[in-house]
Structure 1
Amino acid sequence: MSVGIPVRWILSQPELGLVLKGGAAGLGREIALALTSELTEPQQWLSGGELVLTTGMGLPLSRPDRLRYLRDLDSVGVVGVGFGVGLSHPAVPEDLVEAADELGLPLFEVPLPTPFGAITKKVMQRLAEQEYEKVLRASRSQPRMTRAAIQGVPAVIKELSAALSATAIVVGADGVVTDAHPGPVSAEIIDKITEFLGTRGDGAASGVIHTAPDVFIAVQAIAAGPATHGHLAVVTTTTLSPVDQVLLGHASSLLALDFEKPARLRIAQNRLNTQAIAMLLEEPTALDTVWAHLTPAADRAGRVRALVLRCPSAETAERVVEAVDTRLATQSRQLFAHLAEDRAAILLAGTDTEESAEQLLRSLPASVRASVRAGISAPHPLRRFAAAIEHAELAASAAPPGASPQELSARAGHSLLTFPEARRVLGAVSEAMLAPLVGYDERHDTNLVDSLRAYLEAHGQWEAAANALGVHRHTLRSRIVKIESVLGCRLDTARVRAELLLAVIARR
């Protein structure tokens, strides 16, 4: 907190011989500076915290003006007035004494033998002593906070609270208060901090919130490099001094180190999980100890699901995996991932759903999420996780960009032609099989290809197919006979119908 000297302290110095005349209610006001002024309106050059010393040479003559003089000093934050007697005034004017009592502004008599310089010197010496005492307290508090860091966050903020005589609060990265000392924090204070962090729009925001005349909230980001783990706030009755700010910064650094410990451990754990997956993909017959390393990825029944994410680039894939890791960390779950250029494969528990898989991706920027193809496998035994990844890979290849993760079976009827290899083969088959029919339609201006498709999609039901084409069923029967003649096949064979259906779908 800021340095200041109570007015009562200067009055208690016997060698100065000062005598209080009025304004006893304000003896707790704190002096930040002592100065001499004989101006009639000195308030224009004052900013608060001053002890004004005067002989009354510039004091107005009328009673109303004298009262205004004292009120003006009080209004700008002057903490006391020392009135020197024996020169322009033999005693402190009674009207000033009455006004001082009314305002609670300490007014004391300075005897003629006491120079104003002696009072100023006393004040400056005491302020210097207080500054030194604060530095000394800080030098003692810093080692205590450092030792407390071994015990964790609560111990650090307890030491900070004691050092600053303030309430210390830790707000997590999610905006929730995780620790406070010496006791619970009011909802109003929490709302002010939340509002401040929200309006700044910066994860590493720091600053001071002035909520009331005697309430200040200093906020400091708990950050290590680009990562912000939350914020440290202290609630005080005055603004923090430079020394106090050093203590706040020291505590913030200690908390950042404490938060970084699990983050670094998680990074190491993720790296081991990735290496185990890579090893088992290359050598499935690896030691049981390697398989055991993947056990936390499975559910209680020993099953896993694979979530495969196809991204526009390797950089995007890394970014997506980081986002998934962040969401898993909030659930106290490990990350089991395998990156291969622009593809990311992540092992989830067998009990995870398509919705919970989508939740892992919701922190991604909309533009990034819209570019990612996601596929998920059905639950597989842990030892068959490679097959789960393969199935999820096929589902991701068939999925539209930005769509929620789905199993390949959920895209039945839509997935086959999404694969480039399948499209190439089916395209060639379609061209070869349907070429005679297409040529016949072109030469005779008929519609046999569309009639064939309607017939096949209606499962050979004449009435349904005819209705779809808008023709009579007898007309459709004659067209089917012509199709069989042109193609040289019989449509009453299921295998023939299946191949022709794929051919007409591929052609379309």
Structure 2
Amino acid sequence: MSTGIPVRWVLSQPELNLALKGGSAGLGRNITMALTSELTEPQQWLSGGELVLTTGMGLPLSGADRLRYLTELDAAGVAGVGFGVGLSHETVPADLVEAADALGLPLFEVPLPTPFGAITKKVMQRLAEQEYEKVLRASRAQPRMTRAAIQGIGAVIRELSAALSATVVVTGADGEISDSHPGRSGIEVAVRIGEFLSTRGDGAGSGVIHTSSGQIIALQAITAGQTVHGHLAVVTTTPLSSVDQVLLGHASSLLALDFEKPARLRIAQNHLNSQAIAMLLDEAGDLETLWRHLAPAADRSGRVRALVLWCDSPEAAVRVTEAVDEQLHPHNRQLFARISGDRVAVLLPGSDTEEAAEQLLAAMPDEVRAAIRAGLSAPHLLRRFATAIEHAELASSAALPGGRPLELASLAGQTLLTLPEAQRMLGAISEAMLAPLADYDERHGTDLIASLRAYLEAHGQWETAATALGVHRHTLRSRVAKIESVLGCQLDVARVRAELLLAIIAHR
């Protein structure tokens, strides 16, 4: 893991002739650099891991001060102290040895013939060798991890675990641990990762976590573009070196590719589904093959519903389609959709309800959902999906922005009043057919249009229509005769009555 040389390694180098005097309990401490200091209080210049070499020129005189001197070095994280004899001191002071034993801070004697430079050079050479070994180990581990990627996530983290001699953990996008090596990670690791990620609003947390048991968790987000697939964590007792972090980043990239494979396959599948719909609508290509390709869109009875989403722009239509796919994906359902300008037609199983269609839209951002007009068709046989799309499109044109998906069947009795195209047509018919009556009413102060409406809505029943108007039936007969005279038509003809009723409805 992190670079460092145990103090015992330095003592084991025969050409240096070093002799341990005290603090044997700390021989496993790691040295990260060697330096010479004759300062009385060198600790303020140290950051930890140093091997301090001194001749004792600045060493305090009293035993209490010498204990403080070593205590402060120990507190600064010094790995060991080399005391040069033969200059200011003939031997290592006994009270210094006693203090080193009490602290567990290695203290060794450096004989006069051994220059401090030789010790520093030995340490720095070994540190350089370690760095080279790490780079060499990483250069060998990277291709092994790359080859392991063919076998999946488990193989990649096994190689990373072996390369770093550490526990490796993989979490999903929800922060739950999905895999680890070797074996299962501790409960504390899972809890700390979950706590760390919960503080990150973007879900892409990367950083270092320290546990109460002394473990260090290096966390790396597994991302592809803006998508966070999960996290890769390395659990150790020492910080990762820069080379170790390179291996962690390489493994994270490999896992991102593995997570992306299903997503890319799904994108390709969605594109093929969209192409099949388009070709069937255009009756182009091998139609029977296309029908077989579209078969999974139907329910067990071979029926489909069409959901048409009318958006405020073609760009919004693309985003809405992606959002619908995200809702279908967790249920292992394919997306059968076709974008045409600012409208999206989605084929759903015929067994899907209006509530199921609404759920596809519920997870969309409020500002996107508020602009969508959704229309839903009744179930149709798969081979009549074009009719289903047409019906859903008509329903969407009458739906309210942000409202629930509107079923065309629910417009029975008001379809012609709801659809914008029908409204425009009926308005023109109303103006053309009723203009003579409106003009007559205005000039003579009569109410022939209201009388005509009552007569038509009563299906020609004189008593019913007269009662609704509050007049005698003979009065109504006289008014109907005048209507026929003004319009030049006969109201006993069913088709005439039907056209006039539509005109009256549009006028009202």
TM-score by length of 1: 0.86
Map of 2:313 onto structure 1: 313
Unaligned runs of 5+ in 1: 466-472
**2:78 is paired with a residue of what secondary structure?**
coil
Map of 1:288 onto structure 2: 288
Map of 2:215 onto structure 1: 215
Map of 2:380 onto structure 1: 380
**CA drift at 1:486:** 4.5
**2:361 is paired with a residue of what secondary structure?**
coil
Letter matched to residue 241 of structure 2 = S
**2:39 is paired with a residue of what secondary structure?**
coil
Map of 1:360 onto structure 2: 360
Per-residue deviation, residues 334-358 of structure 1 (Å, max 9, x unmatched): 2211121111111122222223323
The structure-2 alpha-carbon separation of the partners of 1:285 and 1:13, relative to structure 1 and needing over 3 Å to count, comes to closer
Letter matched to residue 93 of structure 2 = P
Letter matched to residue 471 of structure 2 = S
The structure-2 alpha-carbon separation of the partners of 1:98 and 1:480, relative to structure 1 and needing over 3 Å to count, comes to farther
Question: How far, CA to CA, are the matches of 2:472 and 2:62 in structure 1?
Answer: 120
Q: Would the aligned equivalents of 1:448 and 1:483 in 2 still touch at CA under 8 Å?
A: no
Q: Would the aligned equivalents of 1:170 and 1:177 in 2 still touch at CA under 8 Å?
A: yes
Moved more, 243-252 or 266-275: 266-275
Map of 1:478 onto structure 2: 471
Question: How far, CA to CA, are the matches of 1:480 and 1:24 in structure 2?
Answer: 122
Moved more, 5-14 or 433-442: 433-442
Q: Would the aligned equivalents of 1:448 and 1:479 in 2 still touch at CA under 8 Å?
A: no
Matching of residues 217-236 of structure 1 within 5 Å: 217-236=217-236
Letter matched to residue 304 of structure 1 = V
**CA drift at 1:441:** 7.7
Map of 1:395 onto structure 2: 395
> Given the alignment of the two structures, is residue 83 of structure 1 paired with residue 76 of structure 2, yes or no?
no
The structure-2 alpha-carbon separation of the partners of 1:491 and 1:140, relative to structure 1 and needing over 3 Å to count, comes to same
Unaligned runs of 5+ in 2: 485-489
Question: How far, CA to CA, are the matches of 1:196 and 1:336 in structure 2?
Answer: 39
Matching of residues 146-161 of structure 1 within 5 Å: 146-161=146-161
Per-residue deviation, residues 148-177 of structure 1 (Å, max 9, x unmatched): 111111101111111112222222334443
**1:322 is paired with a residue of what secondary structure?**
helix
Matching of residues 441-480 of structure 1 within 5 Å: 477-478=470-471
Map of 1:245 onto structure 2: 245
> Given the alignment of the two structures, is residue 40 of structure 1 paired with residue 40 of structure 2, yes or no?
yes
The structure-2 alpha-carbon separation of the partners of 1:203 and 1:113, relative to structure 1 and needing over 3 Å to count, comes to same
Matching of residues 391-430 of structure 1 within 5 Å: 391-412=391-412, 415-430=415-430
Matching of residues 110-129 of structure 1 within 5 Å: 110-129=110-129
**1:361 is paired with a residue of what secondary structure?**
helix
Letter matched to residue 111 of structure 1 = P
Matching of residues 158-177 of structure 1 within 5 Å: 158-177=158-177
Per-residue deviation, residues 392-438 of structure 1 (Å, max 9, x unmatched): 11221111111222322234455433322211122234445666776
The structure-2 alpha-carbon separation of the partners of 1:442 and 1:85, relative to structure 1 and needing over 3 Å to count, comes to farther
**1:87 is paired with a residue of what secondary structure?**
coil
Q: Would the aligned equivalents of 2:81 and 2:106 in 1 still touch at CA under 8 Å?
A: yes
The structure-2 alpha-carbon separation of the partners of 1:272 and 1:34, relative to structure 1 and needing over 3 Å to count, comes to same
The structure-2 alpha-carbon separation of the partners of 1:246 and 1:328, relative to structure 1 and needing over 3 Å to count, comes to same
Matching of residues 483-502 of structure 1 within 5 Å: 486=479, 488=483
Question: How far, CA to CA, are the matches of 2:327 and 2:186 in structure 1?
Answer: 30
Map of 1:13 onto structure 2: 13
Letter matched to residue 33 of structure 1 = M
Question: How far, CA to CA, are the matches of 2:262 and 2:440 in structure 1?
Answer: 72
**CA drift at 1:186:** 3.6
**2:471 is paired with a residue of what secondary structure?**
helix
Question: How far, CA to CA, are the matches of 2:285 and 2:213 in structure 1?
Answer: 71
Per-residue deviation, residues 26-83 of structure 1 (Å, max 9, x unmatched): 2221111111111111111111111111121111222222222112111121121122
Question: How far, CA to CA, are the matches of 1:232 and 1:276 in structure 2?
Answer: 39
Letter matched to residue 68 of structure 2 = R
Q: Would the aligned equivalents of 1:8 and 1:28 in 2 still touch at CA under 8 Å?
A: yes
Matching of residues 58-77 of structure 1 within 5 Å: 58-77=58-77
**1:308 is paired with a residue of what secondary structure?**
strand
Letter matched to residue 276 of structure 2 = A
**2:208 is paired with a residue of what secondary structure?**
strand
Q: Would the aligned equivalents of 2:188 and 2:211 in 1 still touch at CA under 8 Å?
A: no
Map of 1:130 onto structure 2: 130
Q: Would the aligned equivalents of 2:168 and 2:180 in 1 still touch at CA under 8 Å?
A: yes
Question: How far, CA to CA, are the matches of 1:351 and 1:500 in structure 2?
Answer: 40
What is the percent sequence identity of the aligned residues? 73
The structure-2 alpha-carbon separation of the partners of 1:9 and 1:504, relative to structure 1 and needing over 3 Å to count, comes to farther
Question: How far, CA to CA, are the matches of 1:208 and 1:189 in structure 2?
Answer: 12
Q: CA RMSD in A?
A: 3.6
Letter matched to residue 126 of structure 1 = R
Letter matched to residue 365 of structure 2 = P
**CA drift at 1:308:** 1.1
**1:392 is paired with a residue of what secondary structure?**
helix
The structure-2 alpha-carbon separation of the partners of 1:384 and 1:93, relative to structure 1 and needing over 3 Å to count, comes to same
Q: Would the aligned equivalents of 1:436 and 1:486 in 2 still touch at CA under 8 Å?
A: no
Map of 2:487 onto structure 1: none
**CA drift at 1:275:** 1.6
Per-residue deviation, residues 183-216 of structure 1 (Å, max 9, x unmatched): 2234443343344445443365533334458433
The structure-2 alpha-carbon separation of the partners of 1:480 and 1:63, relative to structure 1 and needing over 3 Å to count, comes to farther
Question: How far, CA to CA, are the matches of 1:215 and 1:458 in structure 2?
Answer: 86
The structure-2 alpha-carbon separation of the partners of 1:402 and 1:97, relative to structure 1 and needing over 3 Å to count, comes to same
Per-residue deviation, residues 240-286 of structure 1 (Å, max 9, x unmatched): 21211111122122222223333332222222211211111122895
How many residues matched? 500
